[in-house]
């Protein structure tokens, strides 16, 4: 874990203006008075397309990103030192008005340690630097092709509103238009078909029913479960990133305020809501709380407004006494990531780092889809780990990969090459042990284009966990299992095996693959003696003379 606090310094904040009906207003994160008036009769040119065909998946923030999108409007909205740090690992795509402004920005970058070889520019005179709110949402279609979803931005800022179109052209990928007024700050997704927003989405789309909006979220983004919540912040903005954040598929951060704060009950209600929901992997969320100060306009604690970028997390810092505590919360919740504290005097509770940056999905990412084993599981003689692994750029998976890494009871890490069972599906097994056992595991893959990926995302530092106990064995659990767990017992020294095969051979192997017993059968087999067997796990194979194989076991009278 690397903790780098306050290495990113304050920059000057520049303002800019826009003209509405002969009035000049300084643009803010919220709508100005003129913008509110304009929005009452605002007519935007938006074309809704047919939704994508095929299986659609909305790409999550912590997945592989090839670039970060920022905008220059006389300033960047974020410290240049943050841009320099991000540029060490991925591209920086800067929206500028034209060639002259590109030269200006390039000079600023050159003077501030930005990796210039990782800089690209797109021309569009931006209305503002809140790229999170107006940038495109990225999807994967059939887990192979990255595309863009465009939506009507909930501000009357036409240049910003066109950025998804601009980026689709720049990246050379397909663009789909979803006619749901929205904003990126009020949206988070987990990459597995679940997303969340505040009820601002209902308020801004009154011409559509909630059911109609949910249908569009499913059709265009692949969102099967869309959580729409109250807004506990009680500010003008109603953006979910001001108080909540998915840190992973099974982890959600919710701000915590003191009990004396008038909003305390609302914050606790939202935290309770998420704690009562199952994540997309099928078990309850881990709800992580980050502390904010009591309500006071001078206390700024926008800690959920962070950016996850590949293996780094950038957390806004304001000089508050709670800054260090917030960093510690991220370190505990996201082991294996580098956690950076980013100081700026421009952060406010409703507008910080996340609002002013936006990741661009890696069009050639290596993607692993896996539903992990979790919790205290029923005993099995082996545990199958299965995953779909896809190289979006088409580069083949490297030979000897993917691999399953696992350890039991804090022992040494074992590795096993996963076998391609069909299509993009790979499988490997973890053998069971006697007694009470805790298992940690992760999946790792590489392709021939030097892309790597782990599941969970950070791999060995935060593996999947489950447990099991061999003392909780029942007869039915052996009915269709290829393994037999033998506990020699003077009172129960045999087991029976029933097969419908006519004639053949029964063979028993230990976990080293050594044959320890074999017999030919011409009728159902009974009373195989196990008194001479040592305690352990054995593989029982029944093979008929016509080469058909059965693993169906009926075990009786042999439990300790």
Identify whether 90 is a catalytic site residue: no
Point out the catalytic residue in the list 119, 242, 279, 355.
355
The CB-based long-range contact list for 528-532 (8 Å cut-off, 24+ gap) reads 528/494, 528/495, 528/496, 528/497, 529/493, 529/494, 530/486, 530/488, 530/493, 530/494, 530/495, 530/558, 531/488, 531/490, 531/493
Cβ atoms 536, 488 nearer than 8 A: no
Q: Please say whether the dihedral angle defined by the alpha carbons of residues 345, 349, 350 and 356, taken in this order, is positive or negative.
A: positive
Q: Which of 17, 23, 1 is nearest to 73 (CA)?
A: 17
Give the three-state DSSP class for 103: helix
Residues 558, 380, 554: CA angle, nearest 5 degrees? 40
Rounded to whole angstroms, the Cα distance separating 205 from 360 reads 27
Q: Which residues of 392-414 are buried (b: 16+ CB within 10 A; e: fewer)?
A: bbeeebbeebbbbbbbbeeeeee
Rounded to whole angstroms, the Cα distance separating 249 from 491 reads 49
Q: Which two tokens stand for residue 276?
A: 């009562």
Give the number of C-alpha atoms closer than 13 A to the C-alpha of residue 376, restricted to the C-beta side. Answer: 5
Q: Please say whether the dihedral angle defined by the alpha carbons of residues 540, 544, 548 and 550, taken in this order, is positive or negative.
A: negative
Cβ atoms 240, 198 nearer than 8 A: yes
Q: Which residues of 203-237 are buried (b: 16+ CB within 10 A; e: fewer)?
A: ebbeebeeeebbebbbebbbbebbbbbebbbebeb
Cβ atoms 510, 518 nearer than 8 A: no
Concatenated DSSP letters of 515-530: EEEEEEESS-EEEEE-
Taking phi over 0 as left and psi of -120 to 50 as alpha, with beta for the rest, 364 belongs to alpha
Rounded to whole angstroms, the Cα distance separating 52 from 56 reads 7
Those residues with Cβ within 8 angstroms of residue 241's Cβ, 6 or more apart along the chain or in another chain: 132, 185, 186, 188, 304, 305, 354, 355
Cβ atoms 3, 331 nearer than 8 A: yes
The catalytic residues are: 355
């Amino acid at each position: 874990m690397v903790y780098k606090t306050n290495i990113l310094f304050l920059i000057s904040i520049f303002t800019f203006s826009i003209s509405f009906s002969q009035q000049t207003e300084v643009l803010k994160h919220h709508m100005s008075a003129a913008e509110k008036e304009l929005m009452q009769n605002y007519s935007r040119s938006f074309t809704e397309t047919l939704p994508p065909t095929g299986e659609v998946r909305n790409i999550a923030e912590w997945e592989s990103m090839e670039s970060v999108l920022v905008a220059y409007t006389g300033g960047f909205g974020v410290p240049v030192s943050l841009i320099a740090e991000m540029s060490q690992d991925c591209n920086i795509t800067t929206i500028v008005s034209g060639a002259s402004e590109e030269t200006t920005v390039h000079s600023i970058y050159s003077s501030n340690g930005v990796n210039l070889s990782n800089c690209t520019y797109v021309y569009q005179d931006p209305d503002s630097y809140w790229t999170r709110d107006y940038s495109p949402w990225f999807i994967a279609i059939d887990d192979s092709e990255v595309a863009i979803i465009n939506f009507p931005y909930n501000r009357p800022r036409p240049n910003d509103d066109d950025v998804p179109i601009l980026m689709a052209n720049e990246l050379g990928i397909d663009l789909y238009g979803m006619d749901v007024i929205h904003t990126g700050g009020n949206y988070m997704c987990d990459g597995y078909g679940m997303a969340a927003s505040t009820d601002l989405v209902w308020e801004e789309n009154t011409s559509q029913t909630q059911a109609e909006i949910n249908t569009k979220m499913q059709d265009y983004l692949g969102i099967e479960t869309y959580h729409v919540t109250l807004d506990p912040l009680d500010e003008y903005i109603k953006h979910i990133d001001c108080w909540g954040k998915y840190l992973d598929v099974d982890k959600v951060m919710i701000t915590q305020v003191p009990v004396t704060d008038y909003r305390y009950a609302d914050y606790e209600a939202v935290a309770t809501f998420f704690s009562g929901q199952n994540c997309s992997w099928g078990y309850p969320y881990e709800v992580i709380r980050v502390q904010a100060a009591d309500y006071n306009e001078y206390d700024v604690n926008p800690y959920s407004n962070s950016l996850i970028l590949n293996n780094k997390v950038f957390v806004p810092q304001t000089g508050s006494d709670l800054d260090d505590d917030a960093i510690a919360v991220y370190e505990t919740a996201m082991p294996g990531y580098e956690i950076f504290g980013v100081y700026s005097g421009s952060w406010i509770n409703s507008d910080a780092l996340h609002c002013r940056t936006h990741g661009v999905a890696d069009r050639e990412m290596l993607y692993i889809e896996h539903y992990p084993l979790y919790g205290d599981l029923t005993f099995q003689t082996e545990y199958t780990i299965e995953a779909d692994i896809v190289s979006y750029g088409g580069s083949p998976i490297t030979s000897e990969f993917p691999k399953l890494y696992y350890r039991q009871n804090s022992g040494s890490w074992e590795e096993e090459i996963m076998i391609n069972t069909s299509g993009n599906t790979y499988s490997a097994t973890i053998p069971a042990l006697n007694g009470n056992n805790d298992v940690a595991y992760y999946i790792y893959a590489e392709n021939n284009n030097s892309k790597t990926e782990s599941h969970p995302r950070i791999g060995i530092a935060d593996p999947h966990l489950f447990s099991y106990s061999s003392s909780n064995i029942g007869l039915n659990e052996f009915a269709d299992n290829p393994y037999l767990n033998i506990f020699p017992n003077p009172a129960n020294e045999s087991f029976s095996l029933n097969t419908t095969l006519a004639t053949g051979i029964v063979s028993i192997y230990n976990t080293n693959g050594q044959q320890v017993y074999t017999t030919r059968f011409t009728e159902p087999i009974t009373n195989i003696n196990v008194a001479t067997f040592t305690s352990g796990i054995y593989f029982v194979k029944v093979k008929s003379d016509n080469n058909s194989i059965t693993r169906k076991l009926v075990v009786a009278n042999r439990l300790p």
